[in-house]
Amino acid sequence: MGIYPKCDLCKKELEDYGALLFSPPDEKGRTLKNHICRDCYDKLKNEYKL
């Protein structure tokens, strides 16, 4: 059985490699990892001019 992550922004299942977004560490040094699909990444990239 494989792992099929979903985009944490649009909730669609990832069909191709996208992006990962890590939060800043909290007071205990823990971070959150978010999976982002290519479509949402392109929207973020354009919005923030990355």
Give pLDDT tens digits for 37-48. 999 999 999 999
Residues 4-31: pLDDT tens digits?
A: 899 999 999 998 888 999 999 999 999 9
Burial of 36 (0-12, 13-18, 19+ CB in 10 A): buried
Distance CA 9, CA 35 (A): 8
pLDDT of residue 17: 86
Bridge partner list, 20: 35
The answer to whether the predicted template modeling score (pTM) of the entire model surpasses 0.95 is no
Per-residue model confidence (pLDDT) at position 11: 97
